[in-house]
Structure 1
Amino acid sequence: MTKTAYIASSWFNPEQTALMNAGVAALKQNTTVDMDNSYLPLAHQYKGLDTTEHPELLSDTEWQMATFNGDVQGINNTDLVIALYDPKLENSDPGVLWEIGYAYGIRKPVILVLPDGNEMPINLMPAIGVTAVINVADLTDYNFNFPNYVVYQGKAY
């Protein structure tokens, strides 16, 4: 049995992109995730447009609405959310936090994935409002078929 996942992540700077790439690579090795039918927003850009090549799209209302609605449907149509999240101020992305909150609100399991060795405190909302908090190193072997609730043990504020 495998689960489909909405893979929330950021790609606005090199550290965020590295976290996303490491997370996706690990998930491709996990036998409990159906990566072929999962939803990585960057792989589902509206009309195939790349915001890296066309940053002006970020200001385009049509692109914004289509991206928002596509991502919401991605969350709605998958079994769970895997949120790759770096809590460092320069890497924290309110979009990922919104996706976590929306998934929580519609009762989807949410697995918050932190960078290996993270020691940054996490805001209590994503720390407590998720099913489990794991590290990138855990992604390959984590059983997404049974994402049991685990109380976050790290520093929260």
Structure 2
Amino acid sequence: MNKQFSQPVKVYLAAPFFSAQQIQKVEQLEQALEKNQTVESFFSPMRCQHPEGLAPDVAQYTPAWAKATMENDVKEVDKADVIVAITDFDGQDTDSGTAWELGYAIGTGKPTYLLRYIEDLPTNIMLTERNTAFFTHPEQVERYDFLTSPSIPYDGKYQ
């Protein structure tokens, strides 16, 4: 799905951040998005684990926290122009939360862009075939023109 934009885009960054390695990947992608001239701003769920409006004394991993965090992430996907996602999950295909965010975004007509750090890791066709561009290095994201959104097809193994 190629869509052109007339002004820098708002990005939702979908990715797992449950291990030191995953956090490092998210940080690399955040840095690439910060340097990209065609990106106005980005929302990184890793940076918002206590959503605005949630009482400060509500602990993580409680039902109230889970509901508020989920609703905040959905709100941020809705506000974004595009979704950029890290698809590898510690040597496996995409984690379930990232897959849900991508599916929701695709269902609302938002363009998706995938980054996979592991070169030969198979990726599920449900993600690759509605995707605008597929990256294998954060530097590609840093230089990518989100305004014209040129297609970069997936050329890896399928799962």
Indicate conservation of the 8 Å contact 2:102/2:127, yes or no. yes
User: In 2, are the aligned partners of 1:110 and 1:132 still within 8 Å (CA)?
Assistant: yes
- TM-score normalised by the chain length of structure 1: 0.84
Give, in whole Å, the separation in 2 of the partners of 1:132 and 1:123: 15
Distance 2:46 2:153 in 1: 30
Q: Among 5, 8, 33, which residue is 2:14 paired with? A: 8
Check conservation: 1:111, 1:132, Cα contact below 8 A.
Answer: yes
Q: CA RMSD in A?
A: 1.8
Is 1:31 matched with 2:37?
yes
Bigger share in helix: 1
The 8 Å contact of residues 51 and 72 in structure 2, kept in 1 or not, is answered as no
CA distance in 2, matches of 1:61, 1:131: 35
Q: 2: distance between equivalents of 1:2 and 1:129?
A: 22
The alpha-carbon distance between structure 1 residues 142 and 22, as it changes in their structure 2 partners (threshold 3 A), is same
Q: How does 1:1-150 map to 2 (within 5 A)?
A: 1-35=7-41, 38-47=42-51, 57-58=60-61, 60-87=62-89, 88-89=91-92, 92-115=94-117, 118-135=119-136, 136-150=138-152
- Asked if 1 retains the 8 angstrom alpha-carbon contact of 2:36 and 2:141, the reply is yes
The question of whether the paired residues in 2 share the 8 Å contact of 1:121 and 1:155 is answered with yes
Q: What is the deviation of 1:148?
A: 3.4
Question: How many residues are paired up?
Answer: 145
Indicate if the aligned counterparts of 1:85 and 1:112 stay in contact, CA closer than 8 A. yes
Deviation (angstroms), 1:62: 0.6
CA distance in 2, matches of 1:100, 1:47: 20
Per the alignment, residue 56 of structure 2 pairs with none
Specify the code of the residue in structure 2 equivalent to 1:44.
C
- Per the normalisation by structure 2, the TM-score is 0.83
Consecutive unaligned residues of structure 1, counting only runs of 5 or more, are 49-55
Quote the Cα distance in structure 1 between the aligned partners of 2:51 and 2:147.
Answer: 32
Unpaired stretches in structure 2, ≥5 consecutive residues: 1-6, 53-58
Structure-2 residue corresponding to 1:52: none
Tell me, in whole angstroms, the C-alpha distance in 2 between the residues paired with 1:47 and 1:151. Answer: 35
